[in-house]
């Protein structure tokens, strides 16, 4: 049993070190360089070396206990920086999903309307072309698929949120209800219990990748903040932020595709587990809703 707890403590320490302390040390080091050099002397390595030498000489003259306390303080500061990046990541995740505070409601409505107008324009063009093709008896054309691609690049369903990521998440429930008449909020916990472990792992990995991307954006935000003192840090922060944003879009698209696939592949099995079959119910989705909601 002691060996078990030692192994758990070791794994927690390794995770704490890799996720918080090491990135925090890098950012804190960047902030220290920013304070020493500033914008005017942003590449003055000689000034940085001189200050580092003076700092090292001062530490050498101090007692070992003082040096140890300084190291502990540096590690704790790095850990605190890591926690700050994680907290910022959670806030950024909410912004990406479109959960914006009420006090900027006018901005939310304006951006949502802009996305919605663009989507409707492309959807109308696509639908008009489909009508023309059907009336003329022609097959699909590259123009139709190009319009569909542009419309779907805005959103797979009519936008209801100010961000692409938010609408991609919202479109899951909309598309599932349109096709199957199933309330995904009620059905998802039961569908999850039917999934084999390997498919659960894929869904978890996609969700974890989105969380990681948001935390990376948190680090990018902190580097942008340090950029107020030293502009190279702002460059690093901007690159980090753009990378995180791109990863966030890809991971949420993967997660949404997997979530819809879970319903496509396992909805009939869920009906059977609930004692409902498509042969007995013309609208299996509605029957599943009635069973799961339990009159609520």
pLDDT, tens digit, 9 for 90 and up, residues 143-198: 888 989 999 999 999 999 999 999 999 999 999 999 999 999 999 999 999 999 99
Report H helices in the chain.
Answer: 2-16, 22-37, 45-60, 64-97, 105-136, 142-154, 164-180, 184-194, 197-226, 231-273, 284-293
| Contact yes or no for 194/208 (Cβ under 8 A) | no
| Contact yes or no for 120/158 (Cβ under 8 A) | yes
Read off the pLDDT band of 29 (50, 70, 90): confident
Question: With 60 as the cut, is the pLDDT of residue 47 above it?
Answer: yes
| Contact yes or no for 176/261 (Cβ under 8 A) | no
Question: What pLDDT is recorded for position 295?
Answer: 63
Q: What is the mean pLDDT of residues 32-52?
A: 72
Question: What pLDDT is recorded for position 12?
Answer: 42
Distance CA 281, CA 101 (A): 43
Read off the pLDDT band of 5 (50, 70, 90): very low
- Does 142 or 220 have the greater pLDDT score? 220
Query: What are the structure tokens assigned to 178, written together?
Result: 């349109």
| Contact yes or no for 54/61 (Cβ under 8 A) | no
Question: What pLDDT is recorded for position 66?
Answer: 58
Question: What pLDDT is recorded for position 259?
Answer: 95
How much is the mean pLDDT over the chain? 84
Question: With 70 as the cut, is the pLDDT of residue 37 above it?
Answer: yes
Question: What pLDDT is recorded for position 80?
Answer: 83
Distance CA 167, CA 179 (A): 18
Query: What residues contact residue 24 under an 8 Å CB cut-off, 6+ apart?
Result: 77, 78, 79, 80, 81, 82, 85
Question: What pLDDT is recorded for position 286?
Answer: 87
Distance CA 219, CA 242 (A): 12
Q: Is 189 left (phi over 0), alpha (psi -120 to 50) or beta?
A: alpha
Question: With 50 as the cut, is the pLDDT of residue 83 above it?
Answer: yes
Query: What residues contact residue 53 under an 8 Å CB cut-off, 6+ apart?
Result: none
Question: What pLDDT is recorded for position 230?
Answer: 87
User: For residue 40, what are the CA distances in angstroms to 53, 229, 271?
Assistant: 21, 10, 68
- The residue assigned the tokens 């339990």 is 294
Distance CA 155, CA 167 (A): 6
CA atoms within 13 A on the CB side of 19: 12
Question: With 80 as the cut, is the pLDDT of residue 115 above it?
Answer: yes
pTM for this one?
A: 0.84
């Amino acid at each position: 049993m002691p060996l078990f707890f030692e192994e758990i403590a070791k794994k927690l320490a390794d995770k704490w070190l890799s996720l918080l302390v090491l990135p925090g040390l890098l950012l804190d080091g960047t902030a220290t360089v920013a304070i020493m050099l500033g914008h005017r002397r942003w590449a003055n390595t000689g000034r940085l070396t001189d200050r580092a030498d003076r700092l090292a000489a001062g530490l050498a003259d101090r007692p070992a206990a003082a040096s140890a306390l300084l190291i502990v303080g540096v590690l704790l500061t790095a850990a605190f920086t890591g926690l700050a990046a994680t907290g910022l990541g959670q806030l950024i995740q909410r912004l990406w999903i479109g959960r914006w505070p009420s006090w900027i409601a006018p901005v939310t409505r304006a951006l949502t309307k802009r996305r919605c107008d663009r989507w409707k324009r492309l959807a109308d063009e696509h639908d008009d072309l489909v009508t023309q093709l059907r009336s003329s008896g022609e097959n699909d054309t590259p123009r139709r698929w190009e319009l569909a691609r542009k419309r779907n690049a805005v959103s797979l369903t009519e936008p209801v949120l100010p961000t692409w990521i938010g609408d991609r998440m919202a479109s899951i429930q909309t598309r599932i209800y349109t096709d199957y008449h199933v309330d995904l909020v009620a059905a998802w916990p039961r569908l999850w219990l039917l999934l084999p472990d390997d498919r659960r792992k894929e869904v978890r990995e996609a969700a974890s990748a989105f969380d990681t991307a948001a935390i990376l954006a948190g680090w990018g935000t902190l580097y942008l903040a340090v950029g107020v003192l030293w502009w190279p840090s702002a460059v690093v922060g901007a690159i980090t932020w753009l990378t995180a944003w791109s990863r966030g879009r890809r991971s949420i698209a993967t997660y949404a595709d997997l979530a819809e696939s879970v319903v496509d592949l396992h909805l009939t099995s869920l009906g059977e587990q609930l004692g409902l079959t498509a042969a007995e119910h013309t609208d299996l989705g509605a029957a599943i809703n009635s069973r799961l909601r339990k009159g609520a």
